[in-house]
Structure formats: C-alpha cells, structure tokens
C-alpha cells in the first residue's frame, strides 16, 4: 500500500471511529430509539451526506456500535477467565462479568439486544458480518472454558455439546439481565429486587454445570 493510500485509509478509519463515538454519545443521552442520523451527523460535525457514505442507515450504524460492544464484552470475559484456574470458577466469573457489562455499558447491552432481533444476511465485509464473527469469538471463549472445566473435573462431563450449552447459558443470562433492567418496577411491586434475581440466575447456572453439586 502506498503512503497516500495508507493515509487515506487511516483518515477513513478515524472518521468512522468519530461517527461511532458520536452515535454512542447521542444514544447514551436520548436512548437508541430516539437517536437519529441527523443528530449523529450534528454531533460528529459532518454533513448528513457524508455520514451515509460510512453507514447506509441507522440499522447499519446499530451494527457498527454492536461490533464495539461485542469486542468489549469479549475482553471482559477474557479478563474474568484469566483470574481463575478451574473451569467452573471461570464460568461463574463470565456470568458476573456479563452482569457488570450490562450495568457499565447499558447502551452496548441495549444495542446488542436489538441486533439479536434483526434478521441479517451477513454479507462479507458488512457490519452485520463483523458482529457475527465477533459473537462467534465470545461463544468460542465460553466453549473453551466449559471444555476446560470438564477436563479439570469441576464441570460435569454429561452437560452435552459445549457449543450448545454455551449458547443456552448466554441466552439465559441475557434474558434475566434484560428482565431485571426492563421490569425493575414490577419486580419491586412483587417484593423482588433485581440483585436477588441476578444472583439466583448465576447460582442456578452454576449448579447446572457443577460436577458433584455445589
């Protein structure tokens, strides 16, 4: 790649990052539902036409942010796994890291939840494909952790196919986290608190995996 081409690519990547920064700022302020392309363009201090050069529509921008979210989630999972040796302890840490992620990065969690509801064709080079690839990395880490636990004896050997178990566990925790976030008022009226709900979910997930019971 020539020097000029390299500089152009760097400028393109910088501008794309600035757009995503602006979209995150607007989304954090007004919520993703109320976020508009016009507002993102104003926040990024560029024309609406130029914004559409980088992202074809709001849905495309959604997946651009989601890629950042998945990358951050994977990093948090890796850090959680790295603090423990036994597979079961690592899976517990992943669950806690997911809860912490949803609290620390509510926009990312919201965006990722929305992406789960959007049918995608995953065309090569698209933001949708990038999110799918990043998501596979997250599940791959969970699968490796489950396999580690089976090897060290902390996780039951009869849990089934680790790739299926990883997907089920992720879906389970995601649903409980989403429930605790969106139904906190109704839970409170029923005499329940979100912290107890999340702790119970983590406990159930752990007991379902543990070799010999916990």
Fold of domain 57-209: Tetracycline Repressor; domain 2 (1.10.357)
CA distances from 172 to 43, 44, 114, 139, 164 (A): 36, 37, 16, 14, 12
Sign of CA dihedral 165, 166, 169, 175: negative
**CATH class label, 1-55:** mainly alpha
Region 116-125: what's the mean pLDDT? 71
pLDDT, tens only, 143-178: 999 999 999 999 999 999 999 999 999 999 999 999
- What is the value of pTM for the model shown? 0.90
Domain boundaries, the chain: 1-55, 57-209
pLDDT, tens only, 69-78: 999 999 999 9
Would you say residue 212 has pLDDT above 90? no
Please indicate whether the domains covering 1-55 and 57-209 agree at the CATH topology level.
no
């Amino acid at each position: 790649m020539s020097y000029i081409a390299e500089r152009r690519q760097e400028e393109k990547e910088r501008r794309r990052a600035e757009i995503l920064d602006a979209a995150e700022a607007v989304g954090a302020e007004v919520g993703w539902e109320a976020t508009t392309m016009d507002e993102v363009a104003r926040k990024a201090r560029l024309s609406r036409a130029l914004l559409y050069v980088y992202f074809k529509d709001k849905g495309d921008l959604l997946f651009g942010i989601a890629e950042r979210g998945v990358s951050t989630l994977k990093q948090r999972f890796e850090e959680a796994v790295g603090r423990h040796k036994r597979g079961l302890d690592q899976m517990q840490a992943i669950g806690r890291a997911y809860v912490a992620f949803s609290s620390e990065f509510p926009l990312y969690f919201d965006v990722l939840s929305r992406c789960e509801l959007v049918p995608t064709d995953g065309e090569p080079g698209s933001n949708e494909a990038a999110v799918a690839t990043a998501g596979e990395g997250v599940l791959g880490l969970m699968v490796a952790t489950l396999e580690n636990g089976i090897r060290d004896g902390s996780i039951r050997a009869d849990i089934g196919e680790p790739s299926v178990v990883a997907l089920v566990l992720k879906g389970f925790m995601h649903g409980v986290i989403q429930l605790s976030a969106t139904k906190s008022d109704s839970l409170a009226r029923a005499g329940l608190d979100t912290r107890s709900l999340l702790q119970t979910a983590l406990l159930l997930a752990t007991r379902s995996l543990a070799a010999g019971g916990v």
